[in-house]
Structure 1
Amino acid sequence: MFASLQNIFSIPELRRRILFTLGVLVVYRVGCHIPIPGIDAQVLAGFFEGTEGTLLGLVSAFTGGALERMTVFALGIMPYISASIILQLLKVVYEPIEKLSKEGEAGQKKITQYTRYGTIVLSVIQGTGIAIGLQTMRGPAGELVVSYPGTGFVLLTVLTLTAGTAFIMWLGEQITERGIGNGISLIIFAGIVAMIPTALINTLRLLRTGALSPMAMIFIAVLMIVVVWAIVFMERGQRRVPIHYARRVVGMRNYGGQSSHLPLKVNMSGVIPPIFASSIIMFPATVASLVDLPWVQRVASVMSPDHLIYNIFYVAFIIFFCYFYTAVTFNPVDVAENVKKQGGYVPGIRPGKETSDFLDTVLSRLTFAGAIYVSAVCVLPTILIGQFNVPFFFGGTSLLIVVAVGLDTASQIEAHLVSRSYEGFMKGVTLKGRQG
């Protein structure tokens, strides 16, 4: 392990990128502790004590507790993710966006610019809702969360939250450009990992008081290792569709005659389906925490995580969004057309429509397996919380994000090491050629 770290930090460029990424993440975590002016922190903490299992609790986990503390980064990076998803959906239903996505690097820059504008608009809308909602929130004893409510507080809060989200978006782009890994994913990763020490302390406290037995703790630790291994195995799993290229003669040169493969991941939709499903399924509990009506409370009790109906709807939403998001991001017709233009074909399948139908069938089967796997990982926390009284959200979307981002970052580090090794192959070699 220490030898690997020494090899990584022995490369100046890679060392610079890693240290830059760590420095940006430190800046992000410092901003997660700078509160918005005019908020009573103790009253706000009392309000958030009852938001576990609601949409507010989920978003607070993604922001690393910034929403719970109502800091300048309270909105987190969620507006940027929402804007990105909206632009991806528009590629399917809005022709100008679809044309931009096919214009290469210039079109992608334009889409990125639209995503930034969308992030600001969503931040203003969400910030306004939060500012107005904060003025009506009360603590357990009925005291107001906002010390001096009014128009001034709303404008200041909206400006602060919007600026905070814009700054996080800029930090993520800087990590992607000058650091290592995907910046937006690493920011979410840092927010989730920051909650782990508190969860472990709460677990040890339950173990010390006898609320959690030692055997149950050992079982949970072993189960955690097994689940992490299963996530790594499934995230790396793919179906490799063989592609053969016909031999062509152009002038005096031969082209083609080679074999390749088209990798189709088992979980092509990533963590988007559980995020969408969690947002929808937790909406009744969120409304119940804000509205005190009998029928709303009854619906919220049925849609609580320890209820069977909740798990059924949760799994159904995950499967639906797995298929939906995969269909949005992967078009078998375009892939089959590109393979045909390059002179390639799948053995035993005719190019064109038959190839697209074959890819669609294979992808549908893979998506079903991936949806079942994601559902199993996401339903596991409710079982642990209900049966073993585990005080933290083990598994689910958080664990998927942590493992997936860790794998992606490790792959990029490995790519830098491999490129460095290739450069070393030519050291000390003198290339001689005919001089004119």
Structure 2
Amino acid sequence: MSLIENFQNIFKIEELKNRILYTIGILLIFRVGTFITMPGVDAATLAQSGAGPATDFLGLINLFVGGAFARAGVFALGIMPYITAAIIIQLMGAVVPYFQKLQREGEEGRRKINQLTRYGTVLITLIQSIGFGINLLATQPDAIVVSSTAFIINCMIVLTAGTVFVMWLGERITERGIGNGISLLIMIGIIAALPTNFMNEWNTQANAIIVFVEVAALVLVTASVVLLTQGQRRIPVQYARRVVGRKVYGGTTQYLPLRVNAAGVMPIIFAQSIMFIPSTFGMFFPTNETVQNLTRWSGDFTGLTYSIVFFLICVFFTFFYTAIVINPKEMADTMKRQGGFIPGVRPGKQTVEFIDNILTKITFPGALFLSTVAILPAIVANFGVTPGFAMFFGGTSLLIIVGVGLDTLQQVESHLMMRHYDGFMKTGRIKGRRRM
């Protein structure tokens, strides 16, 4: 069956078709919202100044929100405050007993955590909206048509409402659409900038062959990131045979999959959040020369100092986040309760040590590769690629696109397989369909 026929099968399933169309509709609403300029701003004057460079902190934010930041749109902060709040809550779950208790309470605990994340989103948005207003007043004073005080209050109200609305859109996609809504909103904002940045690269380069080489390199990098995302080490687990009445249970061999990049894109997001702190501080004091000199190094992602610090922080957070999401002791205990054991390894402490040893061995090269992908945009930018197009060679942008794309395709395949249709490809199946 051809790939085209497999895509046609999607629209033969009424529920799947409705979910996809619903998701597309929500994404269109989000994209329209990024072009609506907030009250108190002269859009024509702001447009004449152009967007900030993609190499600085503000340029990265603008990339993630689909250009709304440069246009002073009502969605200028996008979903990023929600991501920040979710990261803070998740980190607190590793050290604060109250949040650890919530994580163990099942559905009710998740509901409380989601509610706290929403409250945190509003608080973070209020703080960031003040910084946004101060920065715009300092850098684009001619575009502001109201008083400074009124504009700051306006930013707090409009941007907070915009972020809460975007958060609601993401939750609607997760509930009634296809894929993870929050991740899709980030991905669509990033992809929206690709055509413009590619045309800028095409117009900048004098030789078309160079552009083709760059595109080929981008394809290879993307393939490598897919391999990193899908790569795993499978540990064989043997389950003891049990006889209950006339039925025999167990006696089979299954596998415990340990992903090479168990942390996903989170280490880069954590590291980038840390790297944003100096630039965020400098955004509150745009006219202070001393503050700007101290924070300038963190505003240029192509700089050597930025790349070295970013690389090291990514390696650290890869191990840190992997330790949070994977608990070898819990794995060993679950395996023991179910009558499973790793051949040649004693249950209990030795199993914990064995899993921890394997996890460390596969996480180290994974951390190095992930950190290299994180600084790859800076490397290619120094070889003459325009900063906007260089952002798609690695870092958060590429990992989000690959990760969200694979997750969404896996959900679509699950719907197809449930209705006895083939997936997108009979060979090279998406991870969710791979036979164990």
Note whether the superposition's TM-score is higher than 0.5: yes
TM-superposed CA distance for 1:259, in Å, is 1.8
Deviations 1:205-262 (A, max 9, x none): 213xx3xx22321210110111111111111111111111122334554332222111
| Distance in 1, Cα, partners of 2:121 & 2:53 | 26
Q: Which moved more, 1:77-86 or 1:278-287?
A: 278-287
| Distance in 1, Cα, partners of 2:77 & 2:297 | 27
Amino acid at match of 2:366: G
Amino acid at match of 1:27: I
Kindly indicate whether the alpha-carbon contact (under 8 Å) linking 1:55 and 1:283 is maintained by their aligned counterparts in 2. Answer: no
The DSSP-based 3-state class of the residue aligned with 1:257 is coil
User: CA 1:305/1:81 → structure 2, altered by over 3 Å: closer, same or farther?
Assistant: closer
Amino acid at match of 2:270: F
**Equivalent position of 1:78 in the other structure:** 80
**Equivalent position of 1:418 in the other structure:** 417
Aligned counterpart for 2:254 among listed residues 248, 251, 260: 260
Q: Which moved more, 1:241-250 or 1:161-170?
A: 241-250
**Equivalent position of 1:206 in the other structure:** 204
TM-superposed CA distance for 1:202, in Å, is 0.9
Identity %: 45
User: CA 1:340/1:44 → structure 2, altered by over 3 Å: closer, same or farther?
Assistant: farther
Aligned counterpart for 1:364 among listed residues 352, 356, 360: 360
Q: Which moved more, 1:113-122 or 1:306-315?
A: 306-315
TM-superposed CA distance for 1:301, in Å, is 5.3
TM-superposed CA distance for 1:179, in Å, is 0.8
**Equivalent position of 1:281 in the other structure:** 275
Deviations 1:368-423 (A, max 9, x none): 12212212222222122111233422322211111111111111111111011089
TM-superposed CA distance for 1:288, in Å, is 6.4
| Distance in 1, Cα, partners of 2:421 & 2:198 | 43
User: CA 1:10/1:341 → structure 2, altered by over 3 Å: closer, same or farther?
Assistant: same
The DSSP-based 3-state class of the residue aligned with 1:171 is helix
Kindly indicate whether the alpha-carbon contact (under 8 Å) linking 1:54 and 1:286 is maintained by their aligned counterparts in 2. Answer: no
1:194 aligns with 2:177: no
Deviations 1:9-46 (A, max 9, x none): 11111111111110110011011111110113355456
Kindly indicate whether the alpha-carbon contact (under 8 Å) linking 2:233 and 2:259 is maintained by their aligned counterparts in 1. Answer: yes
User: CA 1:243/1:66 → structure 2, altered by over 3 Å: closer, same or farther?
Assistant: same
| Distance in 2, Cα, partners of 1:145 & 1:319 | 42
Kindly indicate whether the alpha-carbon contact (under 8 Å) linking 1:63 and 1:74 is maintained by their aligned counterparts in 2. Answer: yes
Kindly indicate whether the alpha-carbon contact (under 8 Å) linking 1:337 and 1:352 is maintained by their aligned counterparts in 2. Answer: yes
Aligned counterpart for 2:12 among listed residues 5, 10, 13: 10
| Distance in 1, Cα, partners of 2:266 & 2:45 | 33
Kindly indicate whether the alpha-carbon contact (under 8 Å) linking 1:247 and 1:255 is maintained by their aligned counterparts in 2. Answer: yes
User: CA 1:307/1:33 → structure 2, altered by over 3 Å: closer, same or farther?
Assistant: closer
Deviations 1:168-190 (A, max 9, x none): 11111111111111111100010
Amino acid at match of 1:335: M
Alignment of structure 1 residues 198-237 onto 2, 5 Å: 198-207=196-205, 210=206, 213-237=207-231
Alignment of structure 1 residues 11-410 onto 2, 5 Å: 11-45=13-47, 49-135=51-137, 137-139=138-140, 143-207=141-205, 210=206, 213-281=207-275, 283-284=277-278, 290-291=286-287, 293=289, 296-297=292-293, 300=296, 304-391=300-387, 392=389, 393-396=391-394, 397-410=396-409
Kindly indicate whether the alpha-carbon contact (under 8 Å) linking 1:33 and 1:71 is maintained by their aligned counterparts in 2. Answer: yes
The DSSP-based 3-state class of the residue aligned with 1:278 is helix
Q: Which moved more, 1:247-256 or 1:97-106?
A: 247-256
User: CA 1:109/1:299 → structure 2, altered by over 3 Å: closer, same or farther?
Assistant: closer
The TM-score with structure 1 as length reference comes to: 0.88
Q: Which of the two has higher C-alpha Rg? A: 1
Question: Structure 2: where are the runs of 5+ without partners?
Answer: 423-436
| Distance in 1, Cα, partners of 2:270 & 2:242 | 47
User: CA 1:292/1:120 → structure 2, altered by over 3 Å: closer, same or farther?
Assistant: closer
Amino acid at match of 1:382: A
Question: Structure 1: where are the runs of 5+ without partners?
Answer: 424-436
User: CA 1:204/1:147 → structure 2, altered by over 3 Å: closer, same or farther?
Assistant: same
TM-superposed CA distance for 1:144, in Å, is 3.7
Kindly indicate whether the alpha-carbon contact (under 8 Å) linking 2:271 and 2:314 is maintained by their aligned counterparts in 1. Answer: yes
| Distance in 1, Cα, partners of 2:106 & 2:91 | 18
| Distance in 2, Cα, partners of 1:303 & 1:172 | 29
| Distance in 1, Cα, partners of 2:192 & 2:322 | 30
Deviations 1:322-354 (A, max 9, x none): 111111222222222122222211112222222
Q: Which moved more, 1:1-10 or 1:46-55?
A: 46-55
Amino acid at match of 1:180: I
Aligned residues: 415
Amino acid at match of 2:14: P
The DSSP-based 3-state class of the residue aligned with 1:351 is coil
TM-superposed CA distance for 1:64, in Å, is 0.6
| Distance in 2, Cα, partners of 1:200 & 1:380 | 17
| Distance in 2, Cα, partners of 1:48 & 1:327 | 43
User: CA 1:298/1:75 → structure 2, altered by over 3 Å: closer, same or farther?
Assistant: closer
| Distance in 2, Cα, partners of 1:252 & 1:291 | 81
Q: Give me the CA root mean square deviation.
A: 2.3
